[in-house]
A and B are shown apart, each in its own frame.
Chain A
Amino acid sequence: MGIRVGIDTGGTFTDLVAVDEQSGEWYVAKVPSIPTRPVEALAAALEQAQFDPADVSFIVVGTTIGINAVLTRTGARVIYLTTKGFEDVPHIQRINRKNHYDFVWRKPEPFALRRDCIGVDERIDAEGEVVRSIDPEALRELLPEHGGEDVAVAVCFLFSYLNPASELAARDALAEIDPGLPVSLSHEIAPIWREYERGTAAILDAYLKPTVNRYVEGVTEAFGAQGAGSNWSLLKSNGGHALAGEARHRPGHVLLSGIAGGAIGGAFYARERDAARGIVLDMGGTSCDVCLIVDGDPLFSSEYEIEFGLPMAVPTVSTKTIGAGGGSIGWIDPGGFLQVGPQSAGADPGPACYGRGGEAPTLTDANVVLGRLNPEYFLGGNLALDPEASRAALRRLTGTLGGDEVQVASSMIRIANENMANAVRIVTVEEGVDPRDHALIAMGGAGPTHAAEIAEAIGMERVIVPLHPGLTSAFGALAAEVRVDEVKSVSLKSTTVSPEALDALFAETEETATTHFNAQGSSDEEPAIARFIAMRYEGQNYEQEIPVLDGAITAELLAEVLERYHQLHHEFYGYRLDALPVELVRLTVTATAAGDGVLPALSLDVRGRTAAEQPRGTRTAEVHFEGGFQPTPVVARAELIGAEPRQGPMIVESMDTTIVVPPGWVVESDAVGILELRRSGGSESSEAAAGVVAAAS
């Protein structure tokens, strides 16, 4: 028992959320991020926090170290060893194009130079049989000169996901030839078929090894120097966390550490409020992440792409990112249409109203002009906004668009909301679900400001606003559990598979999962195991994941699982094909902590915010909604605790965000301060009428 800490490093700020597991006291801290010296920001956050580091029991860190190294191309030199004849797979890629009518686009550069892609004489066939075994001595000759630089080796042999023998032999050989040379084996990073995707996962893992290792060493030292001990974890792309000493061996699995926290935090709140189906909307300064929550957990995907054509095929919290944030800039395209984003003013110079020299109109400026943001109370009162600067920025567009600053502001909000609504629609269509029976979980500094109107555009009726929405990612890191997703590609058919063989495969995978689980956590406890089979009709190329109940795999259990697949297919797509064989292509075993990871009770009150940062009382302000400005009560968030539900319109202020409750919505707080907004059913605004009104005014 002690103080459990979650830290999230964002592009602009590094956030810390901590809770004393004994006293139930919560702490927060926020420091500017330093992209070139990431370790410093972590140390600074720990220093700013108002607890004694010696009381820390555990720290989970969500970091962008991996993704930043990839985006800025500052990782290691990778030597790629692969089956002879296939050295060019990372360069050939998948041959499709990002855009249809675009001569300009260039295929992504692989993270291994062509001269460093080396063919090794070995071959395994489609059944996992060794056709030609590897000659370890040959590697000595094949390995190119490498010295005095960050170097790492990535190994990907064909069909290694069926038979890893060649890859394992390669690692042994390399350990002798050059001990200390980091080696990543594709079957350990991503044991799936599709050699380009698996090979790239191995390359990225190798690419990040030196960077992540240095980071882990630096952070361990920094925490130690502060007296916070050495018990800390990295958040993984799949939303679980792993002890840093363990995670450093698989940096490919922490690539998206920085976005997982938000999904975990959002899922936590979905469960808190009994919203089994939710959509997380995490809107920050530059971008908005959308993530689907299914049965209280974020959706996972193995098809994440860093950029078009550059996949990272490890289980990742499935988020869609679009360029819509508080700093998104309004501009006019060559056809005369108003667009918003993806360009952003960032934090520097930031929105015009920040007064740091920004001249372009941003969403924050639009919100200020519409009266939704209080210029005297922004970021806990720590930043005074200049509404005149916002108006001036918006006037840069009125010349072309016509109308005044208010109309442009209103249009910008509308367009940005529609972009985010479309992102939500696409995410739900991809999973074949209907967004209208989902709750929208509004996070990030800007999410709660836009959420209700986005929900309305989609037809959703319920919005949940977590405590401290701007800190939900750090909270997610704190709330994260150890989680291992062990994946195994198989090639089985419903008509020929034997339940015993399937049972054996699952047992094997379970064992591996448990071993990793224990290594990544700090205990020897038995994890909770969940099993899934990805399957599809013979001939299709896309799978559905079907859960498999506990217990030995019998013929009956298998039949039930298959029936569930037929049903699901029919639900999504309107037809089932009972007579067709079903291919079983992937087993997944997920190991998570068996206990319920109980946290102390949440609280709106936290140590780390001064009294001056608390929102001030109740007042009335002119706020713009469809149809014009109207007098709107402005209330401090804490005031809603214990009160009756309140009708919109209303502005709710809190330390790190402003919650907009439009007309036709009702807002209610629970006992700790979590807000829910609900459509009150009285709103009959016809969008078409609004359109005519907007055009006529």
Chain B
Amino acid sequence: MGHWEPIVTQVWDTVITPCDCCGQVVARQLWVVDVEGEEHRFCSERCEELYRTHVIPQRGEGAVA
């Protein structure tokens, strides 16, 4: 079961974290969840679903990351 983790930034941080799956910017909090033994940081639960239902099945066929 995933959980939301707030992103803590310092004043000198001028960049933003991208989502592990889709690459979108995540401004305030990351959806952190374990997928197949690996911890991932997504932009939302929607992306976790995309990861599970699309990325893993597709990459399993040898697509280059």
A and B, direct touch (CB closer than 8 Å): no
A residues in contact (CB < 8 Å) with B: none
